[in-house]
Chain A
Amino acid sequence: MFFENINDFSDVNNLFGIPNNYNYAYNYQNNNVNELSPKFLRGNMFDNEFEPFKNMKYIKPALKDEREMMLAKIMESSFAVTDYVLYLDVNPEDQDILNKYKEETKKLEMLKNKYEKMYGPLCNTNGDYQDYKWIESPWPWEKDGGMYV
């Protein structure tokens, strides 16, 4: 049921308490990199464990279009899940982080579904397509046209 209309973010909005008139598309079009969480950009979800190098915290990546921004948001969410998982592996009794982890996995699932509907599969176990799109470029290591996807 999620993302039947690719411009309908109401499911995500309801989940995160965001007003439904919040305009995601506007932000994508304006390459609003401020939308990416500093926790993701610096590579650490835990404030008390952050150790910057010299005076450098992070560098904002240049994102050139909506597709790149959407993928970066998936990276951001996927990263939060990864970091919470490592913490929970050693501290499985931490209810606060467990709740954040659960919330983030839901968000990741929705972001992925939306992206895959527009641009094709991120994972080859997702077969819900007319054609075989898995082989389509760009692959993550390709830079043609400045794409990093």
Chain B
Amino acid sequence: MFKYDKKLEYPICIKKKNLKMAKYLIEQFGGANGELAASFRYFSQKFTMPDDKGKALLNDIATEELAHVEMICTMVHMLTKDASIEELEKAGLGCYYTQHGVGLFPQDSTGNPFTSAYFAVTGDVIANLSEDMAAEQKARATYEALINQTDDEDIIGPLLFLRQREVIHFNRFKELYDYYKKLGY
């Protein structure tokens, strides 16, 4: 089971409201390559990993990704706090407000609702790990785009941290992938 620690993985304190960035950032909550999809992709895949190394790694990265979901949601929440309806509409969040207010709803930056199709689970270990490696690279690229879209250091700091985690996760999946290939999978 899971235990909750009453802290984030990395400090976040965003002082300036920025609805445009909130709209872009929600991509990493409910988008195809976002943290929610990552967490449950690995969570679902762990059940059919062939040995202890695979079970442990998928379980533990899935758990860390859940902490990243919380970080992204925290950022969106801070960026949208006390926003007026006029401000939300101006930033292209009018329809979002109609459906969700300023609640946190998993969707991508263009408004497509989250779907479990993003989990991309097969019963095949090599296919799963290839998917995971690609997912980490796509998430890294998304973080780089997001960093390019702002000059607020309160936003850039956590995004640099999250981007680097994608690099590390990719490396770990790659190690596991190479190890299974050697074993003949």
| Residues of A bordering B, CB below 8 Å | 40-44, 46, 49-51, 53, 56-63, 68, 71-72, 74-75, 78-79, 82-83, 85-87, 89-92, 121-125, 134, 139-141, 143, 146-149
For residue B61, which residue of chain A has the nearest CB? A86
Q: Give how many B residues have a beta carbon under 8 Å from the other chain's beta carbons.
A: 45
Query: Please, which residues of chain A bring their CB within 8 A of the CB of B144?
Result: 53
Q: With A56-B160, A61-B157, A90-B172 in contact, is A43–B60 under 8 Å at CB? A: no
For residue B173, which residue of chain A has the nearest CB? A90
Q: Determine if B8 and A140 form an interchain contact, defined as CB atoms under 8 angstroms apart.
A: yes
Q: How far is the CA of A37 from the CA of B21 in the complex (A)?
A: 28
Across chains A and B, the number of contacting residue pairs, with CB separation under 8 Å, is: 128
Q: Determine if B160 and A43 form an interchain contact, defined as CB atoms under 8 angstroms apart.
A: yes
Instruction: Give A137 Cβ to nearest chain B Cβ, in Å.
Output: 10
Q: Determine if B164 and A50 form an interchain contact, defined as CB atoms under 8 angstroms apart.
A: yes
Q: Determine if A143 and B9 form an interchain contact, defined as CB atoms under 8 angstroms apart.
A: no
6 closest A-B pairs by CB? A43-B164, A59-B157, A43-B161, A89-B56, A61-B11, A141-B74
Q: With A68-B11, A85-B60, A141-B74 in contact, is A58–B161 under 8 Å at CB? A: yes
Query: Please, which residues of chain B bring their CB within 8 A of the CB of A92?
Result: 53
Q: Determine if B157 and A149 form an interchain contact, defined as CB atoms under 8 angstroms apart.
A: no
Main DSSP-derived SS at the A contact region: loop
Main DSSP-derived SS at the B contact region: helix
Query: Please, which residues of chain B bring their CB within 8 A of the CB of A72?
Result: 11
For residue A138, which residue of chain B has the nearest CB? B6
Interface stretch of the complex, out of B12-20, B22-30, B116-124: B12-20
Partner of B13, one of A51, A79, A86, A148: A148
Instruction: Give A124 Cβ to nearest chain B Cβ, in Å.
Output: 7
Q: How far is the CA of A90 from the CA of B144 in the complex (A)?
A: 27
Contact with A along B146-173 (1 / 0, CB 8 A): 0100000100110011111101110110
Q: Determine if A90 and B7 form an interchain contact, defined as CB atoms under 8 angstroms apart.
A: no
Instruction: Give B20 Cβ to nearest chain A Cβ, in Å.
Output: 18
* Additional 5 contacts, C-beta under 8 A, given A49-B168, A58-B161, A148-B8: A42-B160, A51-B167, A58-B160, A79-B9, A86-B60
Q: With A56-B156, A89-B53 in contact, is A74–B7 under 8 Å at CB? A: yes
For residue A145, which residue of chain B has the nearest CB? B13
Q: With A122-B6, A123-B6 in contact, is A143–B161 under 8 Å at CB? A: no
